[in-house]
């Protein structure tokens, strides 16, 4: 059985998903959202959002009918769900491109023009490119994760959509053979001042991520609750103004 236009529809959907993944990866500066694994991340984020909305909308559904007039979407839950999405996106932008870079070299008894063949006991210096594909300035830390690796710059400040080259020195072990050397990378979007990120990084690489997520999520949540109130969201409310009216009032107060 042949279904006319089915192949065209499937191709169009695949193309649309790939375009969406590419745009989000470009915006956040991470390749973690590309490919099948990236699609899984997007579906997971969408599932979490839909779950939060469903919980918010159905929170009072099983209560007594005499209180049904008070049913509505909890503003706190809705704003908290949106804040979690922002935090998840920021975390993906920092964690996705980070990790260990592997350099495979051969420790040989002779000199060679090949960059991955190094005479035993000697050091070869190669360029290493660090890129920030996102729009937000990023601080990148580079540190050796194995013996035989050194880098000329352990911290880089990258503006949005920019890149920089550093020199990585690879030292071949005294024994001949194939070896893998590692350079570790951590990166943080510059939501906090760089000295604060530096101080937190010295304690533990995950501390700046926690602090940045808090700096993004907490103000968004508080501002959202302040803007639309702490009640339940309704288009109209017989006992008072709806959430859209409350939001307009708050915005007038803010700009006025």
Which residues have a Cβ under 8 Å from the Cβ of 4 and sit 6 or more positions away? none
Determine the Cα–Cα distance for residues 166 and 52; give it in Å rounded to an integer: 44
Among 5-9, 41-45, 110-114, 216-220, name the one with the lowest average pLDDT. Answer: 5-9
C-alpha distances out from residue 235 to 54, 242, 250, Å: 18, 5, 16
Determine the Cα–Cα distance for residues 250 and 256; give it in Å rounded to an integer: 10
Phi/psi for 136 (5° steps) reads: -90, 135
CA nearest to 212, candidates 83, 37, 90? 90
Most confident of 12-21, 209-218, 224-233: 209-218
Token pair recorded at residue 50: 């839909």
CATH topology of domain 98-203: Immunoglobulin-like (2.60.40)
Instruction: Give the model confidence (pLDDT) of 113-159 as tens digits.
Output: 888 899 999 999 999 999 988 888 999 999 999 999 999 989 999 99
Most confident of 19-28, 43-52, 206-215, 239-248: 206-215
- Say what the pTM is: 0.65
Answer yes or no: is pLDDT of 84 > 80: yes
Determine the Cα–Cα distance for residues 252 and 191; give it in Å rounded to an integer: 27
Between residues 48 and 207, the one the model is more confident about: 207
DSSP H or E segment with residue 80: helix 75-95
Task: Break the chain into its structural domains and give their ranges.
Answer: 6-94+213-255, 98-203
C-alpha distances out from residue 157 to 140, 149, 175, 186, 194, Å: 6, 21, 37, 12, 9
CA nearest to 137, candidates 209, 12, 29, 21? 29
């Amino acid at each position: 059985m042949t279904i006319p236009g089915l192949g065209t529809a499937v191709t169009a959907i695949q193309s649309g998903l790939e375009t969406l993944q590419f745009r989000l990866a470009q915006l956040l500066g991470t390749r973690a959202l590309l490919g099948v694994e990236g699609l899984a991340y997007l579906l997971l984020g969408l599932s979490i959002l839909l779950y939060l909305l469903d919980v918010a909308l159905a929170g009072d559904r099983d209560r007594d009918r005499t209180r049904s007039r008070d049913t509505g979407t909890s503003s706190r839950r809705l704003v908290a769900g949106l804040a979690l999405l922002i935090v998840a996106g920021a975390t993906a932008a920092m964690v996705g491109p980070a990790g260990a870079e592997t350099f495979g070299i051969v420790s040989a008894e002779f000199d060679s023009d090949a960059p991955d063949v190094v005479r035993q006991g000697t050091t070869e210096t190669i360029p290493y490119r660090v890129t920030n594909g996102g729009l937000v300035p990023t601080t990148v830390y580079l540190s050796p994760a194995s013996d035989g690796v050194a880098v000329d710059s352990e911290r880089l400040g990258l503006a949005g959509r920019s890149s920089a080259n550093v020199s990585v020195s690879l030292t071949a072990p005294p024994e001949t053979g194939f070896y893998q050397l590692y350079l570790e990378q951590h990166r943080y979007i510059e939501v906090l001042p760089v000295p604060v990120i530096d101080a937190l990084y010295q304690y533990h690489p995950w501390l700046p991520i926690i602090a940045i997520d808090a700096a993004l999520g907490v103000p968004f949540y508080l501002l959202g609750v302040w803007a639309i109130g702490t009640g339940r969201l309704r288009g109209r409310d017989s006992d008072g103004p709806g959430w859209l009216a409350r939001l307009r009032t708050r915005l007038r107060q803010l700009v006025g």
